[in-house]
Chains A and B, each alone.
Chain A
């Protein structure tokens, strides 16, 4: 364990950034989230894994209320999630989100994609917004593509732009909803590298992914979900080498040995 994560552990008790308490959600008859309790502290990287349909993406989307919940309590930085309206928009600006299908604004250039939120939500003036956008695009390695449209970029490049777009809002926490699942294998690494860098820089991250390598190397904690429940929570080393629950053992045996 490095000093950084030790320091993080010390802060953990006091600095809770995202707190979910007995959250429940149904899709019709399907109980997709069952009594979810989860606390994420500032600077922590939590990776959520589990089989398809276990509710991981839904969990991720409830945190900025793209999905509503039926019961329970979600707090971000001490404040409960507001209802629809201005308050919710403000909160979403503080919670960055990266989607599986990138969702870059198709009618705007890469640069405009990264500037839009700054100008319209943060009310930054245009020049400062452009400067920051170019800086972020350089940081994720697509600075030379700034004036192209999303459709002209590869999937990996688009996803890195999407990360830059989220970062432009100076979010307190970043949600990644299967950011590499729609990518060709050779493009996965370029996105994961950007995410690794973010994690090293101390960003609070909640990552839903199937990339076990990323979970091992970047996560402070692994959350394993199955059938709408959190089955197991552990540090990566412990989880991958010695899972406690049968469900997790079964899952890991299927994905790690082939």
Chain B
């Protein structure tokens, strides 16, 4: 369940984060304003508050059930993914924006000079270079996301932390169980960091 949460949330937050980053550098003031407001609001709210709100607020008060009104487990999972995506997209956006700032202005000027539109310039020239320079900070976000999936326990999603709590309640070996779960997370996150670190070096754009 932890892995599933991580994968879905990672993909979602990459997409939403990229969109937000595109908004924050766009020439339209309204979009820039929205992007900036989103990032500054969302990244300053604790994830626990967001996840609990998604369950108690979105689902219970506003009736947002994400296509699973009767299946509480599925609904919890989807709400957790939604919250994780919304939260981490803000961090992906900021990482990416710092990457966009490393791409020399001349690259975008040259792209516009051959007649590419703003969207094409961003998609074909600026973002591919920006992504390569922020692979390592993105790995950070991804590792944080993997660990943050445990917060989904707050709304009863059966991920690792929930499982650990149940086991600790039933067994005597509390330290051993905690160590086992901690080790499980290291197994998940260490390769992520190593692989992306290696990839970051390999794909770095030479200037």
Binding site for B on A (CB under 8 A): 64, 66, 84, 86, 89-97, 99, 101-107, 116-117, 120-121, 149, 151-152, 162, 165-166, 169
Contact = CB atoms under 8 A, between A and B. Distances in A.
Contacts of A103: 104, 106-107, 109-110
Interface residues of B, number: 22
Interface of B: 27, 104, 106-107, 109-117, 120, 124-125, 128-129, 132, 205-207
Contacts of B104: 101, 103
A116 B114 contact: yes
B116 A121 contact: yes
A93 B206 contact: no
A106 B207 CA distance: 6
A101 B114 CA distance: 16
Contacts of B207: 106, 151
Given A120-B120, A151-B207, A99 B109 contact: yes
Contacts of B114: 92-93, 96-97, 116-117, 121, 165-166, 169
Contact of B113 (A66, A84, A107, A152): A66
Nearest to B106: A103
B112 A66 contact: yes
Contacts, number: 75
A97 to B, nearest CB: 4
B contact face: mostly helix, strand, loop, or mixed = helix
B112 A89 contact: yes
Closest 10 CB pairs of A and B: A93-B115, A103-B110, A117-B114, A151-B206, A103-B106, A97-B113, A121-B115, A92-B115, A106-B205, A89-B115
A104 B110 contact: yes
A99 B109 CA distance: 9
Contacts of A93: 114-115
25 contacts: A84-B27, A89-B112, A94-B115, A96-B113, A97-B110, A97-B114, A103-B104, A104-B110, A105-B107, A106-B206, A107-B125, A107-B128, A107-B205, A116-B114, A117-B114, A117-B115, A120-B116, A121-B114, A121-B116, A151-B206, A151-B207, A165-B114, A166-B113, A166-B114, A169-B115
B112 A107 contact: no
A89 B116 CA distance: 6
Nearest to B206: A151
A120 B106 contact: no
A213 B205 CA distance: 36
B206 A149 contact: yes
Contacts of A120: 116, 120, 124
A47 B205 CA distance: 35
A243 B112 CA distance: 38
Contacts of B27: 84
Residue among A91, A102, A117 with max Cβ neighbours from chain B (10 Å): A117
A58 B124 CA distance: 27
B109 A66 contact: yes
Residue among B109, B114, B124, B128 with max Cβ neighbours from chain A (10 Å): B114
